[in-house]
Structures are given as structure tokens and as C-alpha cells.
Homo-oligomer: A and B are copies of this chain.
Amino acid sequence: MDGEGSDRALPVDPGLTRYPPRADARGAVRFVSVDAGDRVEATEAAADPVTPVARLGSRLLRLVLGAPLRATAIAHERMRKLIALPVLSADALSSVAYGPEALLAVLVLGGGAGLALALPVAAVIALLMLAVGISYRQTIRAYPHGGGSYVVAGTNLGRTAGLLAAGGLMTDYVLTVAISVASGLAAVTSAVPSLGPYVLPLGAGLLALLAAANLRGVRQAGTLFAAPTYVFILAIALLVVAGLWQAVADGPSRAPAAPAHATESVGLLLVLRAFASGSTAMTGIETISNAVPAFRPPQARNARTTLTVMVALLIALFAGTMALVAVEDVAPLPGETVLSQLAHGSFGDGPLYAATQAATAAVLLLAANTAFNGFPRLLYLMARDRQAPQLFLHVGDRLAYSHGIVGLGVAAGAVFCAGGGRVDRLIPLYAVGVFLAFTLCQAGMVVHWRRERGAHWRRSIAANTLGGALSGVVFAVAAATKFAAGAWVALAAVAAIVAGSGAIRRHYDAVARAVAPAPEDAPEPAEQLVVVPVAALDRVSLRALAYAAALDRPVLAVHVCGDEAAAERFVADWRALGDRVPLEVVLSPYRAVVVPFVRYVDALHRQRPALTVTVVLGELVVDHPLRRLLHDDREPRMRRGLRSQRGVVVTTVPFHFPG
């Protein structure tokens, strides 16, 4: 394939068919020739960092994060249903740990009359879960390659709708992590109140741990974190059954708790606020539809089955918990979660209570973990559409999207700390983002079905219209009733994300237009000048001068010095050496060297703007990293200064020490 078009023979064999000519010095063969010598393929050894320091760093990192995977290994990073269910539904199911409590926390303001409305409001939320679940089943069918709200809304409703959905999802991911960690710690401190004062450092530690685990990759996280969800489901089911059984056995003999003191009148507003807060119990319901490609084939069918099981479990756990709350007359307390109160009621203080609290904390951690899978995936999709920085396209060592993971950890940590690690302070920010994304996704599905008109399209439209309308109502209710309490922060974040992503896309578009090949591009710059800064007449500079002279273009040597006496001395030495290249001395009475040189090159260039100036820098490269500190950084500084100059090419000729 190669070389036919070239009129100069290459002095080496690019196919490396004669490589390694002898056994590689380190025993590792770095390249293999494939495809009859047409291609060279890098082995793992070729990706080993070049310098010893970088190599050490990479080994330490690999110790923590595991070995890298080949690109072709991506396909194997799939989850079985039995693993996918706990991993992907932890987010939704764990919402049972704070959703009912958030609902009750509003209703209790209305006293006994308010709490009496808990069951009707919960029933509406359970119906909403069903509707949204059915709605998302349609999404999986339509987007078997993973249609998150961002993709569905963007494809069907346009770019801005997609970005709005993305903004909603991003705030949702950040809050899922922050609230799950806060709620998990609340489960722990309910059981061990002495840990109460350490919630902030504990939360920060957990977030760091989660980020590190996710940098290792999705498969390990899946296997590691599968059990807690099953234990949690079992624990809550047992708790509900045991509690209801006791209530039936004992009859209505249990003394009702002291009736709560009403601080607000029970009106529509209170009910709507309770509804908005309780709706946080369904956050995470969309996770499976985003993660269809993570399933084993047949992916769509497996995902739909898993979604159905998850929604059934969610409704069962939520309804059961609310029923028990009503029977046991439980109200939120400052130091203990509602779930902990229920567990105390059902199990007393024994090991079953402890197990329930532990499982709750574990499943909430797992929910936070789900967000660590989803957030980088969303950023990757956005970066692919050039609506997020390109660095989110980088796949890390273990196919995990490392920048997104780190970014989510930092953002969630900030939100967690800003909320003082308390669930009740963070809940008001939560629902708006989630339901904005739900609404846009379902609306996008409606448009999709109208365009496609595939099998059962009318039924699908009906399902998605119902789901979208209900989600829209929740979004509007949450935004309106919780605005001052925190929803404005989430809405502002969404607006900032939409605006920022738009600006990023416009920048990338402008760059793409600028770098697109154009036929009028001159194939070769017409005029050339080579400039060599010479600090001293040593081999470093002489090597640079020799390289410059060999370029067979006009060469100018430049010496920058502080005063006339030094200039005279340098010129005398220069003449003694042969004076084969013209020399210009630039006096710099302010003793700076780098910037006056850069300015001087600029001044030369202004004389003929069409000129291409090649600056040849001789650079002493000291191999030992500590000894490097003993030498100045003049060359890197010159390179940085020259980088900003148009029409200036910089060539670095290294002189290695030791040679």
C-alpha cells in the first residue's frame, strides 16, 4: 500500500517486518506485524509509559484500578439479568428509604389530619410508578441501543429538548449520589447515633471509595454490589409482613403515637408539596432504559423483563412501607429514619434490625453507584454530539469513563457538603430534574411513534402520552411548590448546562469549519526563515545550528544578552568559531531573555507576514528527574511564548545528558 506515491525512498522499513532485529532489550516485544506486513499492531508493552517516573505512576495506578482491556473486550462487559436487576434497580428501589419519609415530613405539618392523607397520596404515586414504568417499556422497545432521555428527546424533539433532558439528568445523577449517601448514612446513624457528628467526613470518604471502585470498571462493580439489593428487598418484605402480621394479631391495641401538632392547615398546597416530595420514591426508574447495551443479548427483551420485575418490586415495597406507616402511626423524627422506626417496630433491637439497617445503607450506596455508571455514559453521549468537552470521550484504562466519574464524585461531594449531609435539605432539589427528563423523554416517544407507526403504535402513544403528562404534572408541581426551598438551584443548574453545552457545541462547530480541508490551501509555504536562539557557544547550541543549517534555508542566529560588553565578548567568540551564519545580538537591559526573543521573532515576522519562521531551539534534556531541577526551563518557556505567534514553527533539537 505504502510508498508508491513517494519520490524519496524511506531509509527504514515502516512495516517493522525486520523488527525486532535482535531480541528486544527489555524482553518485551512492543509491536507485531499483521496483515502481511501492511499493518503494525501495538502490544500491551507498547502502551507502557516512556519515562521511568511515568512508568512508576502507571504501575501504582494499575495496582489500584486493574489491568487495561483491549478494545475488542468491550463486548464482554455485559451483565446477566440476575446481576443487572440488583445493579440497575438499586437506584429505584432504594428510593423507598427516603421517599415515604419525605412525603410524611410534609404531611406532618398538617398534624393528624395531614398524616391521614398519607395513604391516598401514596396510592397516586404508586399509580404514577405504574404509568411511567409502562411508558419506559416502550422506550426500550424503540431504542434497543440504549435510549436515555437525552437521546430520545434530542432525536425526536430537537437539540434544545435533548439538552434540557440532559441537564435534568445531570442534576439528577448528582443529587442521586448526594442523597443516597446522605440517606445511607442516616440509616447508619439511626442504628449508631454516636456516629452522628461524623456524617460529613464519612460521606466524603464514601464518595471517594465509590469513585475509586467505579474507576475499576462496571463488571467488577456489578459482581461486587449484586447482593445488597436482594438482601434489602428481603429485609423490607420481611419487615412489612412481620409488622402487618403483628398489627393483625394484636388488633388495634397499640397505643397510637401522640397526635402530631399541626403547624399548617391541610390544603391543596400541602398535599401537592407532599406529592412532589413523595415522588422522589420513583427516581431511578429510568436507569434500565438508559443501560440497555449493558445487558446480554437479546438485550431489549432482557431489559424489558428486568424493568417489569423492578417496577413490580418498587410498587410492592413502596405500598407495603406506606401501609405499615399508616398501621403503626409512625411520623418522622429528627434522629431516626422512618424505616428505622418501622424496623424497630417489627424486629425490636435484635440482629434482624441491624441487618435491615445495614442492607438499607448498602443498597443506597449501590444506588449512588448506579449514577456513577450513568453520568459518564451521558457525558460520553453528549461529547459524541460535541455538546460536552471532548475529554469525556476518553475511555479510561478499564473502559470506565474516568473523567466523568471523577467529575460526578466532586460535584456530588460539593452538593452533599452544601446540604450538610442531610436528606431533608437535599430532597427539594431532587424531583425537578428527574421529572423534567421523564417528561421530555415520554414526549419524545410520542413523536417517535407518530413518525414510525410500527406495531401497536397507537397503544404505545397512549402509554407514553399518559406517562409524559403525569410526569409533566409532577415536574410542574415540584418546580412550583419547592421553588424557594431549593428547586430553583436545580432549575438554574439545568439552565447553566443547556447554555454551556450550546456554547461548547458552537465552539466545536467553529473549529470544525476552520480545520475542514479547503482546495485553496497552499501546499507549501512560499518563503522560509530559520531563527536559532544561541545562549552560549556549547554543543547544545551548535547541534541546533547544524540542524538549522542542514534545512537549506536562510538561517539567522540570535543572541540575547544584558549589556554591550557581554555582546562584544559573544561576537568575538562567534567570529572565532567561523561566523558561517549571520548573527544578530538583541540587547535586553531588563535582563529578560525569553520574552524579548519571542518579540524579536514577532518583529521579524511583521516585516513579511507571509513568511514561515522556523525557530530551532537547542534543548539540554537531563534524563534524571531530580537533576532536571538543576536546570532552567528556558526552552519550554520559549516554546510556550512562540506557540501564540502565528506563522511560527518551533523545532526542538534535544541534547541528552548523559549522552
Contact = CB atoms under 8 A, between A and B. Distances in A.
A547 B525 contact: yes
Interface string A11-29: 1111110111100000000
A42 to B, nearest CB: 4
A459 interface: no
A127 interface: no
A589 B14 contact: no
B8 A553 contact: yes
Interface stretch (A68-76, A247-255, A437-445): A68-76
A586 B11 contact: no
A644 B656 CA distance: 8
A651 B649 contact: yes
A494 to B, nearest CB: 21
A554 B11 CA distance: 8
Contacts of A586: 31, 39-42
Nearest to A611: B11
Nearest to A621: B643
Given A537-B517, A630-B390, A641-B50, A591 B556 contact: no
A524 B546 contact: yes
Given A521-B542, A554-B6, A654-B649, A42 B596 contact: yes
Contact of A630 (B508, B529, B657): B508
A63 interface: no
A20 B600 CA distance: 12
B606 A567 contact: no
B538 A591 contact: no
A24 to B, nearest CB: 9
Nearest to A581: B6
Each complex incorporates copies of this chain amounting to 2
B14 A604 contact: yes
Contacts of A581: 5-6
A227 interface: no
Contacts of A659: 514
Contact of A516 (B16, B539, B621): B539
Interface in A358-416: 389-391, 394-395
A640 B51 CA distance: 9
Interface in A39-63: 39-42, 44, 46-51
Interface in A66-100: 68-72
A601 B5 CA distance: 21
Contacts of A527: 11
Nearest to A72: B589
Given A521-B542, A654-B648, A42 B10 contact: no
Contacts of A50: 595, 598-599, 641, 644-645
Contacts of A577: 517
Interface in A596-635: 596, 598-600, 603-604, 606-608, 611-612, 614, 619-623, 627, 629-632
A584 interface: yes
B630 A42 contact: no
B590 A44 contact: yes
A598 B51 CA distance: 11
A288 to B, nearest CB: 28
A258 interface: no
Interface in A421-457: none
B6 A589 contact: no
Contact of A603 (B19, B578, B623): B19
Contacts of A51: 640-641, 644
Interface in A496-550: 504, 507-508, 510-511, 514-518, 521-525, 527-529, 537-540, 542-543, 546-547, 549-550
A646 to B, nearest CB: 6
B538 A580 contact: no
A587 interface: yes
A555 interface: yes
Contact of A539 (B518, B523, B655, B656): B518
Nearest to A549: B524
B48 A600 contact: no
A390 B632 contact: yes
A208 interface: no
A497 to B, nearest CB: 15
A34 interface: yes
B607 A12 contact: yes
Nearest to A631: B390
A609 B170 CA distance: 53
A462 to B, nearest CB: 42
A2 B583 contact: yes
A34 B9 CA distance: 50
Interface of A: 1-6, 8-16, 18-21, 30-31, 34-35, 38-42, 44, 46-51, 68-72, 389-391, 394-395, 504, 507-508, 510-511, 514-518, 521-525, 527-529, 537-540, 542-543, 546-547, 549-556, 558, 560, 562-564, 567, 571, 577-592, 595-596, 598-600, 603-604, 606-608, 611-612, 614, 619-623, 627, 629-632, 639-641, 643-646, 648-659
The 10 closest A-B pairs by CB, nearest first: A515-B538, A42-B596, A14-B584, A3-B582, A2-B582, A41-B587, A651-B651, A8-B554, A47-B592, A70-B589
Given A515-B538, A551-B551, A623-B644, 11 more contacts: A10-B529, A11-B608, A40-B587, A42-B589, A46-B600, A49-B641, A50-B641, A510-B657, A511-B631, A643-B652, A646-B654
20 contacts: A2-B583, A2-B584, A4-B579, A6-B581, A8-B554, A11-B608, A11-B611, A12-B608, A12-B611, A39-B585, A41-B588, A51-B644, A390-B630, A507-B630, A510-B658, A511-B620, A515-B538, A517-B542, A547-B649, A646-B654
